[in-house]
Structure 1
Amino acid sequence: MNRTTRALNLTEEGEAFLRQARVALEALDAAVDMIAAQRAVPSGRVRISTSAAFGHDHVMPALPPLLDRYPSLSIEVDFDDRVVDLVRDGYDIAFRGGNIPDSALVTRPVCRLNTVLVASTDYLARHGAPRTPDELQAHRLIARRFLTGHIAPWNFKADDGSITTFDPMNKASLTLSAPESLVQAACDSVGIAEVAVHLAWDHLRSGTLKIVLHRCHRPGTYEMVMQYPHRALTAPRVQVTVSHLLEALSADDKLHVSMDTLNAYTA
C-alpha cells in the first residue's frame, strides 16, 4: 500500500491481489452455500407446467412417492399445452415435447417421442391395411393440428433412401389438436392416425390398435424434455424434484418402447 499523511492507497500489486482475493472469497462463499443447501430439508412450493396427456399419464404417478419422501414439499401442477415462459410465469419446471429449440434454460432429456400410424382392428377389417403410402389416398385419415395452426405431415422413407411427405389434411375425415384425442378417434374406428407410441402403447398391447406402414413410416425427431431456469445454486426443493422425476420417468416403460418391439404390433 502507498501511505501518505493524507491518504492510503493500494499499489498496482495490491489492486491485483485484491481482485484475485475477491474471486477466491466468492468461490468459498458459493461452496459454503452449496453444502448448506444440501443439508437443508427440502421444503416449499414447486410449480410444474406440463401438457395434459403427459402430465396425467406420467408426471402424476411420480408425485405421491416424492411427497412421501419429502413431506415439506408442496407441488403445484398446471396442465396446459401452450409453451410457458418459466421465468416470467413463475414456474420451476416445465415438460415440453416436440422439436425442442435451443434455449437458455437447462434442458434434460426424458425420452424420444417416436410416432406410428395406427388404426383400429375393426377399421382394418372393414377397409384393409394400406401397403404403400400411396394407398392412404383410399382411406379415412385423422389429422393433427398444432396450436400454431400447422398440420403435422406424415413422412415416409423409400427403398432408395429418399423422403416423401404426405399431407393428411387432404383426406382428413377428422382434424384434432389434442394428441390423446387422436388415439381415441383411432380406437373409435374413425380412420388412420399418426400418434406418439407412449399414448398408443396400452391399446397396441390390448389389440385394439394395429400399426400400419411401419417399415417405411418415419417416426420423427420429436423428444420430451424437462426444462428449468439456469441458476448457479438451484433451490433444494427444485433439485430433489428434478432428480426424482428424471429417475421415475427413466423407469416408465411406456416412454422407452423400442422401434423393434413395435414389429409385433403391425397389421
Structure 2
Amino acid sequence: MDSTQRVRAMLSFVQAADRGSFAAAARHLGVSPAAVGKNIAGLEAALGVRLVNRTTRSLQLTEEGQLFLLRAREAIDALDAAVDVVTLQRTQPVGKVRISTSNGFGRHFLLPQLPRLIARYPGITPEIDFDDHQVDLVRGGFDLALRGGMIEDSALVARKIHTMQMVLVASSTYLATHGVPGQVADLADHRLIAVRFLGGRMSSWDIGDGETEAFVPRPAAMTFSDPEAAMIAAADGLGIAQVGLHYAWPLIREGRLRILLADRLRSAPREMVLLYPHRALIAPRVRATIDFLIQEFSKIESLHVRTADLAAYHYG
C-alpha cells in the first residue's frame, strides 16, 4: 500500500469509526460504501490485523482498531494543521523571509527598517544574509535581494530603490594641507584611496577630462576591499576617495567630507534595486516585505539627493 492509498484508507477508517457505518462514512467522503469497505480491508491487510468487526446492523472496533484510531487521528490532525499553515501564509504575512544584501547597504539602510517591519508584521521572521558577492536567488533559496550596479538578469523582477551617484571626496583638513585638485591630472599629486573588488579588480573612478579610458587611482596611497572603509579613511584626512553619495551624504552634510571635481563627474548607469524571482503567486510574507521596503526606502534622504543639493558642498 503506497502513501496515497494509506491516507485514503485511514480517512475511510476514521470516518467509519466516527459515524458508525460504512454507508455514513461513504456519504461524508463522497464515495460508495463498497469503496469504504475496500479501503478498510486493504488497510487491515497491510497492517496484518483486523480493525473492525462488522455486522449488518453495527460496526465495532477491535482492540487493535481502537489503538490505531488514536494514531490515525493524530496523523490526520497533522495533515490538517499543515494545510492550515499553508492557507494562513497564503492569506496573511506570516513566516520566514530570506533576504540577501550587500554589507554596506544592509547595515546602513536595511537594518534600520527591521524594527518597523516587525512592528507592522509581527508574523514575519526576517533572515538576512550579508554578502557582497552576487548570489543566485533561486538556488540560494532567497526570497529577495538588495543589490547595486548594472543589473542584467532579466529572469528576475527588479524594483528600483534609487540611482547610485558616485562622488569624489576628501576632508577639509586634508585639502588644507595638500591643496585642492582643479582637474583630473592634479590627482597625480595627491594621496588616492582605492577600493579593490572581491575579484581583485581595482574600482575605477567616474571622472574624466574628455578621455575615453576609465580613471584608475594609481598609485594608491592605500587600498581597501570595503567602500565604507575608504569613506572613513577620507573623512579622517588620509586622502581622496570615490564613494557612493548615499553612504557619504551624512558626512558631507556634517562638513566632514567635501566634494571634489564635481564638474568632471561622469555618471555611470548604476542603480540599487530590490530583486525577486517571480511576478505571480508571491507569498504574502514576501509581498508585504517588498512593498514595505520600497515605501520606506523612498523616504530616506540619503538615497534621493538631488544634484542641486550638492552645490553647497563643492570644494574649490
* TM range, smaller chain: 0.7 to 0.9
The amino acid of 1:53's aligned partner reads G
- 8 Å Cα contact 2:205/2:216 also seen in 1: yes
1:125 corresponds to 2:176: yes
- Return 5+ residue gaps in structure 2 as ranges: 1-86
Structure 1 residue runs of 4+, over 6 Å off? 36-39
Q: Distance in 2 between matches of 1:231 and 1:246?
A: 16
State the AA in 1 paired with 2:215: F
1:91-102 correspondence runs (5 A): 91-102=142-153
Corresponding residue number in structure 1 for 2:219: 171
- Aligned with residue 222 of structure 1, among 270, 282, 288: 270
- Give the alignment of 1:19-98 within 5 angstroms: 40-98=91-149
Cα drift, residue 177 of structure 1: 1.5
User: Relative to structure 1, is the Cα distance of residues 209 and 81 closer, same or farther in structure 2, using a 3 angstrom cutoff?
Assistant: same
In 1, the alpha carbon distance for the partners of 2:163 and 2:238 equals 27
Would you say the 8 A contact 1:155–1:164 is kept in 2?
Answer: no
1:112 corresponds to which letter in structure 2? T
Gaps of 5+ in 1: 1-35
Which residue number in structure 2 is paired with residue 17 of structure 1?
none
TM-score by length of structure 1 reads 0.81
Name the CA distance, whole Å, in 1 between partners of 2:88 and 2:160.
25
Contact kept, 8 Å, 1:42 with 1:236, in 2: the verdict is yes
Most deviating of 149-158 and 73-82: 149-158
Greater relative CO, 1 or 2 (CA 8 Å, sep 6+): 1
Secondary structure of 2:207's counterpart equals strand
The structural deviation recorded for 1:155 is: 3.4
Q: In structure 1, what is the equivalent of residue 307 of structure 2? A: 259
2:29 — aligned with what? Answer: none
For normalisation by structure 2, the TM-score amounts to 0.69
Instruction: Tell me how far apart the structure 2 counterparts of residues 51 and 209 of structure 1 sit (CA, whole Å).
Output: 24
Deviations 1:19-38 (A, max 9, x none): xxxxxxxxxxxxxxxxx889
Q: 1:163: how far off?
A: 4.4
Aligned residues: 229
Relative to structure 1, the CA distance from residue 55 to residue 141 in structure 2 (aligned partners, 3 Å threshold; closer, same or farther) is same
Tell me the equivalent position of 1:187.
Answer: 235
Distance in 1 separating the partners of 2:287 and 2:201: 36
Q: CA RMSD in A?
A: 1.8
SS in 2 for 1:118: strand
Which has a greater percent of strand? 1
